[in-house]
Every structure is written in structure tokens, then in C-alpha cells.
């Protein structure tokens, strides 16, 4: 299960964390008869607290799709039923008219049995969810919506490194994006220590990879950087302590820390990060890990705007 769902992720005694990757498989594509690319038709519902949704917010922005796909934002703390629109006046999304994202899922699947996850693409005319398959959402924002990108939009999926990038993204997802959750929701000392070892093997690999290249795939930001960044942005504030990923802090890894600040300071990235919402989500929602629901005061977010020195790479 995903912690970004209404059902949540829970520590199951003796077991290893296993993420539920069964999402609504529909896609919005140029040649689709049911869900065609159509400016103004869809609404991306996301939450700044969620790393998977954070990806979609970033990609929509850096590709210049703000006037093509509207954005609805849920608050950071949800209950077991659904993410809610408590950031909006009256707690109602102004476009969909919903108080809960759950309503968009039920508009299409009245007996939807799985967790209500963000990000979700919603069809505005029917107010029904189209897909919540987060890896495909950002993939398709690039490939299928290209006719609507701004002229200077970055090439997030460059052909010359595509095969290697797929391998890098797979390792980043299994070992880092999901690896921190594997540590945090481990059900035994044994599964935790195995997860911890896997995570730090991958973190050391990334530290080494970034020694002589500015970004994961070279001189330019790609989808791989988007996917890694949202985990790194949460690392010291949440994963280091809350998920027990505490061999060292991100700030103690020179290449990764410089890289993370470099990406953070790139237009379209840092402004999507809300540390108060991030901490509120993890420390309040995960009551089995943090039963007091006390939200830590630190760390100081101003460190993210300090010089990164990555120009030399």
C-alpha cells in the first residue's frame, strides 16, 4: 500500500513493506478515443506533501502546461477515506466541486476498492478520475502533451540516453524512492536492517555517480532527476528520523547534497516544496510510527538556498 492512499501504509509485524502498485491503467494520449489530449479538459489533483504527486506538479510546471491542465491541491493530512480539499475556501475544490478526492474515484467506480491516491488526473466534464498511475502520468505529460509544451521546455526523455535512464530510474525507484518506505514500514529488525543496507548501497552509488556529472544523466535535467529529487527533498526532514534512514544526513553527502540544492534552486522545483506540509503529512498521518503526532520543528529549510557549487561539474 502507499502511504499516499487513504488506507495508508502500516507496519505489519514480521513482514517486509510491499507497495501496492495496482493503479487505474488508463492513459491520456493523442490517439485515444476515450481520453484524448485536450487542453482544458483535465485537472491534475495532487498534494505538495506527497513525493509521487510532487513529481507531477514539477513536470506540469517545467513543461509549461499550467494553462492546459488545471491543478487542484489537497491538504497534507488526510483520513482513511480520502485526501481532502481543505486548502480551498469552504474545503471544496473550485473546479470539481468536491470536498474529497474520493468523490472523483466513485464517480467512475462506485465501489472502488483501493486507496484514494494522488496524483490523479480527473476528467472535468464528468468529474470522474481517469488515472492515478503516477509513473505514466509524468511520462505522458512529456510525450503525449508535447504540442502544448512551452518553446523552451526541457527534454526530460532524451533519446541518446533513454535506455540507460530507464535503468537508472528503475534503481532509483526500487532502492531509494521506495527504499525509504521499506525502512520506515519494516515489520521486524531483520527486514529493517536488510532494507537499510539496500537503501545506503544505492545512496552511495548515487553519491559516486554524481562525482563527475552535474545531473543523473549528464549535463541536463531529465525525468530521472525529477524522480530522485522529490525523495531527496524529504530526506533530512522526514526519512532520516521518521523512517530510521539515519546512517547519515543528506547534508553530509557532498555530491548528493550539492546536487539536491542545485535542482532545488532550478526554476520549477524548489517552489513546489512545502516543508511544513511534508512534515505534517508524515508525522501526523503515520500514527503507527509516530503515535504522538508531534511534528518536529527542524531542520531549517534555509539551507536549501545556500550555494551548491555544482557549476564546476
Hey, which residues are catalytic here? Answer: 50, 181
- Per the CB < 8 A criterion, the answer to whether 74 and 118 are in contact is yes
Supply the DSSP string of 183-226, one letter for each residue. HHT-SSHHHHHHHHHHHHHHHHHHHHHTTS-SBTTBSS--HHHH
Q: Which of 219, 37, 215, 240 is nearest to 123 (CA)?
A: 37
Three-state DSSP class for residue 35? coil
- Cell numbers found for residue 244: 530510521
Rg (CA), the chain: 19
- Per the CB < 8 A criterion, the answer to whether 244 and 288 are in contact is no
- Per the CB < 8 A criterion, the answer to whether 165 and 57 are in contact is no
- Cell numbers found for residue 79: 483520513
- Per the CB < 8 A criterion, the answer to whether 58 and 223 are in contact is no
- Rounded Cα gap, residues 54 and 73, in angstroms: 11
Number of residues assigned to the chain: 313
* 3-state secondary structure labels for all residues of 111-145: CCCCCCCCCEEEECCCCEEEECCHHHHHHHHHHCC
DSSP 84: B
Annotated binding residue 83: yes
DSSP 174: I
Q: Which of 65, 221, 220 is nearest to 146 (CA)?
A: 65
Give Cβ neighbours of residue 139 (< 8 Å, ≥ 6 apart).
Answer: 157, 223
Instruction: Write out the binding residues for glutathione.
Output: 83
Instruction: Write out the binding residues.
Output: 83
Amino acid at each position: 500500500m502507499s502511504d499516499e492512499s487513504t488506507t495508508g501504509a502500516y507496519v505489519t509485524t514480521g513482514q517486509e513493506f510491499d507497495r501496492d502498485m495496482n493503479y487505474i491503467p488508463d492513459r491520456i494520449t493523442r490517439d485515444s478515443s476515450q481520453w484524448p489530449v485536450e487542453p482544458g479538459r483535465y485537472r491534475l489533483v495532487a498534494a505538495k506533501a506527497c513525493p509521487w504527486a510532487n513529481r507531477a506538479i514539477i513536470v506540469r510546471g517545467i513543461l509549461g502546461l499550467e494553462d492546459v491542465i488545471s491543478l487542484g491541491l489537497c491538504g497534507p493530512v488526510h483520513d482513511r477515506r480520502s485526501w481532502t480539499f481543505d486548502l480551498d475556501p469552504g474545503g471544496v475544490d473550485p473546479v470539481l466541486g468536491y470536498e474529497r478526492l474520493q468523490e472523483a474515484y466513485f464517480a467512475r467506480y462506485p465501489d472502488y476498492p483501493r486507496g484514494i491516491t494522488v496524483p490523479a488526473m480527473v476528467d472535468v466534464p464528468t468529474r470522474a478520475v481517469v488515472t492515478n498511475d503516477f509513473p505514466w502520468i509524468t511520462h505522458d505529460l512529456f510525450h503525449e502533451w508535447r504540442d502544448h509544451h512551452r518553446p523552451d521546455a526541457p527534454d526530460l526523455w532524451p533519446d541518446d540516453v533513454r535506455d540507460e535512464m530507464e535503468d537508472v530510474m528503475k534503481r532509483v525507484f526500487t532502492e531509494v524512492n521506495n527504499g525509504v518506505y521499506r525502512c520506515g514500514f519494516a515489520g521486524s529488525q531483520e527486514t529493517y536492517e536488510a532494507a537499510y543496507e539496500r537503501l545506503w548501497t544505492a545512496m552511495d552509488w548515487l553519491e559516486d555517480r554524481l562525482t563527475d556529472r552535474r545531473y543523473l544523466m549528464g549535463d541536463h535535467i531529465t525525468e530521472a532527476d525529477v524522480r530522485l529529487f522529490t525523495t531527496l527533498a524529504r530526506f533530512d526532514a522526514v526519512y532520516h528520523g521518521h523512517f530510521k534512514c539515519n546512517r547519515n544526513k543528506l547534508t553530509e553527502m557532498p555530491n548528493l547534497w550539492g546536487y539536491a540544492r542545485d535542482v532545488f534552486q532550478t526554476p520549477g522545483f524548489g517552489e513546489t516544496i512545502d516543508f511544513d506540509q511534508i512534515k505534517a503529512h508524515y508525522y501526523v498521518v503515520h500514527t503507527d510510527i509516530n503515535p504522538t503526532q508531534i511534528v518536529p520543528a527542524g531542520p531549517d529549510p534555509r539551507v536549501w538556498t545556500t550555494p551548491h557549487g555544482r557549476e564546476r561539474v
